[in-house]
Amino acid sequence: MYINKINITPPRDLLDQCYQVLLPDPPEPMWRMKRWAREHCKSYVWAELVDTTDVSYDYDSVCAFYFGDEQDKLMFTLKYKN
């Protein structure tokens, strides 16, 4: 897990190397999904809301979750993707 006490947001180049799961319509509150990811996915890195208003997308924002391991990404996707 990435930890930086000055700026808690991981650097963009680190996030670009991660496996990403985008959830436009999350089934649960984001804080609950983050807690589940921390407890069940050892390679969980970060979660954030991504503004998509400038992209032709049906939603104004999506939840983005980042994982270092593809297996964790798959487990999270199976849990939360509709």
Q: 10 Å Cβ neighbour count for 45?
A: 21
Task: Answer for the pair 27, 82: CB distance below 8 angstroms, yes or no.
Answer: yes
Model confidence band, residue 26 (pLDDT cutoffs 50, 70, 90): confident
Task: Answer for the pair 18, 2: CB distance below 8 angstroms, yes or no.
Answer: no
pTM of the model: 0.82
pLDDT of residue 30: 92
Q: pLDDT of 34-76, one tens digit each?
A: 999 999 999 999 999 887 776 666 777 789 999 999 999 999 9
pLDDT of residue 1: 55
Distance CA 64, CA 45 (A): 11
Which among 32, 30, 14 has a CA at the least distance from the CA of 63?
Answer: 30
* Location of structure tokens 């436009």: 24
